[in-house]
Amino acid sequence: MADLSKITCIEDLKKVAKRRVPRMFYQYVDSGSWTQSTYRSNHADFDNIMFRQKVLVDMDNRSLATTIVGQKVKMPIAVAPTGFTGMVHADGELLAAKACENFGVPYTLSTMSIASLEDVRSATSAPFWFQLYVMKDREFMRNLIERAKAVHCGALVLTADLQITGQRHCDIKNGLSAPPKPTLRNILDLMTKPYWVKNMLGTKRRTFGNIVGHAKNVDNLDKLLEWVGQQFDPSLSWDDVATIKELWGGKLIIKGILDPEDARMAYEHGADAIVVSNHGGRQLDFASSTINMLPSIVDKVGDKLEVLLDGGIYSGQNALKAYALGAKGVFVGRPHLWGLGAYEQAGVTRALEILYREMDLSMAFCGKTQIEEVNKEILLPGTYPTPKY
């Protein structure tokens, strides 16, 4: 195992992951839709926001501890739901969930995970969250919700921005699937990834664990791919939210909000929290970055429900900027996947350590010792976005 103390930023993990993870799964993580404009702006728009440095302030006894959707956390960061996690590294969801439990932040399992809900519960005692995609097969959806209840998930994250799928050039060209199809191109690539192959041969989890064995007539890879391609429901609407909330009965988070009016609708339909998100730049290209829309959404509903944010959180400094602008927490997706692909569970832990240290030190430099004291006063006026409408 490498000396992870020499891994000092998320970019270090990304470089190692690129060497170790098969091309189709690395590019699945590190790409957006169409021109990737939104993917890039999610990160770049944080760079315009400047901190106000304060000096000769007592910086002892600092804490990032707070709560997100009623759950105590070591820092206001949760790991985002990401599909194909178990293809980035064997048993990836289990390893990431364990890292999150040990560190003290929530882990969110995707509907399109490789490990199942039951697999993750067997690996962790923490109240992990579950992200729901609404499928045309509503019986399957209801069963998913019941399974999430049975394993005591702490919150249900309803993804609202994937009724249809944005065009992701890399995924189409790579023929993305789990497991990879045995084409010549894939075989040649896997020959250069012995670390990944060795670990994948040691697990039985190589396809979508929440679907295979649970969806009707899905018993081989071709049927699975056909089922997935047909099941995302373009008819999903606000009318469905009340039904889902009633079936679930617990904390409901709606992810994929990028407009203040949609944020208001989420509140009116019973959401406990929302995630300001453009799906990591993987859906509508040339949509706004999430940090630019955050102040408008906080201004609209921030006193009514918890506003969270994802997109572009590749550093603790970006997480702190989002918190200062009103987000009660942020989701990180790609950083934990790069850590996972690079160094397994230890890599996820290292990603969380990096984010924590960057957030903690930056807060101190801005003259604050408790995260719950942080607001936009730590930011330089004129450099951060303000409500637009």
Catalytic residue list contains 279: yes
pLDDT in tens, the chain (389 residues): 678 999 999 999 999 999 999 999 999 999 999 999 999 999 999 999 999 999 999 999 999 999 999 999 999 999 999 999 999 999 999 999 999 999 999 999 999 999 999 999 999 999 999 999 999 999 999 999 999 999 999 999 999 999 899 999 999 999 999 999 999 999 999 999 999 999 999 999 999 999 998 998 887 767 877 888 788 889 999 999 999 999 999 999 999 999 999 999 999 999 999 999 999 999 999 999 999 999 999 999 999 999 999 999 999 999 999 999 999 999 999 999 999 999 999 999 999 999 999 999 999 999 999 999 999 999 999 999 999 88
Instruction: Report whether 252 contacts 70 (CB < 8 A).
Output: no
Can you tell me the distance from the alpha carbon of 225 to that of 141, in angstroms, rounded to the nearest whole number? 18
Q: Is 131 annotated as a binding residue?
A: yes
388: its two tokens? 């637009």
pLDDT of residue 1: 60
The token pair at 212 is 């295979």
- Concatenating the DSSP letter of every residue in 204-243 gives S--S-TTTTTTSTT--SHHHHHHHHHHHB-TT--THHHHH
Helix axes 334-365, 92-103, angle to 10 degrees: 20
Does 71 carry a binding-site annotation? no
| Cα distances (angstroms) measured from residue 80 to each of 237, 249, 343 | 23, 22, 19
Establish how many alpha carbons lie within 13 A of residue 316's alpha carbon, considering only the half-sphere containing its beta carbon: 21
Distance, in Å, from the CA atom of 159 to the CA atom of 139, rounded to the nearest integer, reads 18
Q: Are 55 and 304 spatial neighbours (Cβ–Cβ below 8 Å)?
A: no
The number of helices, as runs of H, and strands, as runs of E, in the chain is 16, 10
- How confident is the model at residue 221, as a pLDDT? 67
* Beta pairing, strands 66-68 & 71-73: antiparallel
List, as one string, the DSSP characters of 37-93. HHHHHHHHGGGG--B----S----S-B--EEETTEEESSSEEEPP-TTHHHHSTTHH
Residue 28 is assigned to a ligand binding site: yes
Q: Cβ distance 316 to 359 under 8 Å?
A: yes
pLDDT of residue 103: 98
pLDDT at 216: 86
* Torsion, CA 305, CA 374, CA 309, CA 333, rounded to 10: -130
Question: Whose CA is closest to 114, among 189, 187, 177, 182?
Answer: 177
The reply, when asked if residue 279 is annotated as ligand binding, is yes
Q: Is 101 left (phi over 0), alpha (psi -120 to 50) or beta?
A: alpha
| Residues 6 or more apart in contact with residue 19 via CB below 8 angstroms | none
323 is annotated as contributing to ligand binding: no
User: Per the annotation, does 168 bind a ligand?
Assistant: yes
Nearest to 251 by CA among 338, 332, 328, 152: 152
3-state secondary structure of 283: coil
Does the annotation list 133 as a binding residue?
yes
**Catalytic residue from among 89, 152, 214, 279:** 279
Residue 255 annotated as lining a ligand binding site: yes
Tokens matching residue 317: 């400094």
CA distances from 283 to 208, 260, 292 (A): 21, 18, 17
**0.85 surpassed by pTM:** yes
Q: Which CA distances in Å does 205 have to 27, 181, 190, 208, 233? A: 21, 15, 18, 8, 26
Structural domains present in the chain: 10-378 (3.20.20.70)
The residue assigned the tokens 């679930």 is 248
* Closest of 324, 279, 334, 305 to residue 164, by C-alpha: 279
